[in-house]
Amino acid sequence: MPELPEVQTIVDGLNQQVAGATVVGVSCDWKKMISVETENVSPNGAITLRSEKTWKKFESMVVGKKIKNVERKGKFIVFNLSENVHINAHLIVHLRMTGHFLIITPEKRKDTKNAIHEKVNQYIHFQMELSDGRIIALSDLRKFAKIAIAKKSDIDRIIIVGQDPLNKEFTLEKFRKIFKDKRGNVKQILMDQSLIAGIGNIYSSEILWEAKISPLAKIENLDDKEMKSIFNAMKKVLKLAIKMRGSSESDYRDVDGNEGGYQKIHKVYKREGKECFRKDGGIIKRIKIGQRSTFYCCKCQI
């Protein structure tokens, strides 16, 4: 957590509410999450990235800049900032396990019944103050989130992810192609971020239930019909999860501090011992695959 639907929900909220706003201040009480990524050219001409833990430089590259827009790359959030004397800056954020962004207004701070006052929204370690008095805050209970600033040409060196499952150009043919020579459990393959970006433990379980495929099935043994079922289920599940603003199984909240709604209609995830929604007599089981809990129906996912 959070996975693609949660990250996309946050990105959509940020674009709707803060695109075009100017950052007038930044603060952080856990500077280990901050880095400035700069190019380092070796004697042989090879270009690598040097990660600097320099708060003052980071601050100078963010303050005074306009947020042009926000986009998602896999599970990463990218704030595209206006040009400055250093670089055409891009703020790159990975929320890791428990991070989520909040947009806090002075009115919300005063209203103690507002969702932002829920305990899960109170672990704020990074803030960007906007010129209109609003604040973009990062709440992160476990402090695993990472925030880096880099120039546009270096983004692809920092964000190395596979195909985006919701990209219109990601066709069934491309889906089949990336799995052509792969071997192993289909669930673990779906969660491989170097192949497909954004699918984690929740949605891999939900996708495979929708496709009627066992999470223990070997990817190399699936036929064309089964691969098509997974592909269609992937698109369907992820789009619906975004529509319902993600799953709030634990810490995830949207930019207004509210829970998502998809957890209310999970078909298998965390439904161990319950009857399958297909009413086929199956019971949801929980097993461990790759040290992660996996949920599936013992009847329809064979």
Summarize pLDDT for 211-230 with one digit per residue, the tens. 999 999 999 999 999 999 99
Question: Above 60 in pLDDT, residue 87?
Answer: no
Per-residue pLDDT at 47: 53
Q: Which of 3, 6, 249, 259 is catalytic?
A: 3
Q: Which of 57, 239, 292, 299 is catalytic?
A: 292
Domains along the sequence of the chain with CATH: 4-158 (3.20.190.10), 172-297 (1.10.8.50)
Mean pLDDT of all residues belonging to the chain: 93
Per-residue pLDDT at 152: 79
Q: Is 129 a catalytic residue?
A: no
Question: Above 80 in pLDDT, residue 208?
Answer: yes
Q: Is 215 a catalytic residue?
A: no
Task: Categorize the per-residue pLDDT at 154 as very low, low, confident or very high, splitting at 50, 70 and 90.
Answer: confident
Per-residue pLDDT at 42: 57
Find tokens 């949920």 and name the residue: 295
Among the ranges given (35-49, 197-211, 223-237), the one the predictor scored with the smallest mean pLDDT: 35-49
Per-residue pLDDT at 49: 63
Q: Which of 75, 134, 253, 267 is catalytic?
A: 75
Which one, of 2, 4, 19, lies nearest residue 167 by Cα? 4
What gap in Å lies between CA 116 and CA 13, rounded to an integer?
15
Q: Is 168 a catalytic residue?
A: no
Average pLDDT value for residue range 151-165 = 88
Question: Above 90 in pLDDT, residue 40?
Answer: no
Question: Above 60 in pLDDT, residue 32?
Answer: yes
At 78, phi and psi to the nearest 5? -120, 115
Neighbours of 190 (CB within 10 A): 23
Q: Half-sphere exposure of residue 18, counting CA atoms within 13 Å on the CB side?
A: 32
DSSP structure string for the chain: ---HHHHHHHHHHHHHHHTT-BEEEEEES-GGGEEEEEEEE-TTS-EEEEEE--HHHHHHHHTT-BEEEEEEETTEEEEEEEE-SS-EEEEEEE-TTTEEEEEE-HHHHH-TTSGGGSGGG--EEEEEEETTS-EEEEEETT---EEEEEEGGGHHHH----B-TT-TT--HHHHHHHTTT--SBHHHHHT-TTTBSS--HHHHHHHHHHHT--TTSBGGG--HHHHHHHHHHHHHHHHHHHHTT---SSS---TTS---SGGGG-SSTT-TTSBPTT-SS-BEEEEEETTEEEEEETTT--
Task: Categorize the per-residue pLDDT at 155 as very low, low, confident or very high, splitting at 50, 70 and 90.
Answer: confident
What gap in Å lies between CA 102 and CA 104, rounded to an integer?
6
Q: Which residues pair with 49 in a beta bridge?
A: 39
Q: Is 2 a catalytic residue?
A: yes
* The CA-based dihedral angle spanning residues 151, 157, 163, 164, taken in that order and rounded to the nearest 10 degrees: -30
Question: Above 70 in pLDDT, residue 84?
Answer: no
